[in-house]
Amino acid sequence: MTPLIELEEITKNYGSYRALDRVSLQIEPGITSLLGPNGAGKSTLIKVLLGLLRATSGRGRLLEYQLGRHNRQIRERVGYMPEDDCYLSGLSGVESVQFAAQLSRLPGLESLRRAHEILDFCGMGQERYRTVETYSTGMRQKLRFAQALVHDPPLLILDEPTSGLDPAERETMLSRIKILARNHGKAILLCTHILPDVQAVSDAVIILAKSRVRISDRLDRLSQPTAPSLKIHVIDNPEEFAQKLERAGLKARIGALGAITVDGQHAELAVKIWQVANQANIGIRSLEPSRNSLEEIFLSAVREQPDANS
């Protein structure tokens, strides 16, 4: 599959501060999440991709255009939803989306029709006729999403699209993102701090920390543990069950929320675990092949020193 975005050794300095340090990565079609602690360089990376900032060194390509050389063409094909509020005061919701459409060269009346169409998709009703200043956080979020989408770009960069949304709205927003990627072939770069969102929709994950790429891989590959193991949740005391497993000659350890991880091949291991549970008269709530959680992946990536570039 041809990557949509390819970066080679991109470095960006602000004076003596290095915001991006030799960042190299490839982003393929689908939903890619960009993660990282505050100050990791995510916003700088987005600005470099949009051509709002010129990289100090390195080169890159977005779709078929060179970064820094074809900024206008890139911005025509990218829809950007910023994290912060950005609106023109005094305009209603539909006028704001129409304005964004016209800036992206949609002609006059057609831009108004398209603005209504997109606001329908974003689930905004009659409130679209109110001025933006009166909007709640969730409505502003939907408005920014509509503005990013109105010109039907092949690539969307969404910065914290679900922050400030209630659980139902968050679910709906994620389903919209999935619809756009799965049914309409949009490539989506999702910047978020909400890891369950990443887990719910992402195909690939990029983790930035201290200005460098720590991890860049498909989420399903990252979730696979290095050695086969099983994860168990028991109804009663997990410590007691873990001790009994150890006495039965199995390697067991207790993780977050009382989950017991036992290393070994799945089939023979499961039989042994059931035998131990039966002898100890302990009820097993769940037994499944263990996978690395995104929290674990994120924390280990942020703590680790070597990066994916090296």
Which residues of the shown chain bind other proteins in the complex (CB under 8 A)?
Answer: 47, 50, 52-53, 71-73, 75-76, 78, 80, 82, 84-91, 99-100, 102-108, 110, 114, 117, 120-121, 147, 149, 151-152, 176, 179-180, 183-184
Pairing mode, if any, of strands 78-81 and 204-209? unpaired
Q: Are 132 and 91 in contact (CB under 8 A)?
A: yes
Helix (H, G, I), strand (E, B) or coil at 35: strand
The residues facing 187 across adjacent strands are 155
Buried b (16+ CB within 10 A) or exposed e, 257-269: eebbbbebeeeeb
Closest distance to other proteins from the beta carbon of 130 (Å): 15
The residues facing 13 across adjacent strands are 18
**Residue appearing with tokens 């960042």:** 23
Cβ neighbour number for residue 249 with a 10 Å cutoff: 8
Of residues 94 and 260, the one with the C-beta less far from other proteins: 94
Closest distance to other proteins from the beta carbon of 7 (Å): 19
Of residues 27 and 222, the one with the C-beta less far from other proteins: 27
Closest distance to other proteins from the beta carbon of 86 (Å): 4
Closest distance to other proteins from the beta carbon of 134 (Å): 14
Closest distance to other proteins from the beta carbon of 179 (Å): 6
Of residues 183 and 281, the one with the C-beta less far from other proteins: 183
Residue 201, token pair as written in the block: 């929709």
Of residues 186 and 214, the one with the C-beta less far from other proteins: 186
Of residues 72 and 303, the one with the C-beta less far from other proteins: 72
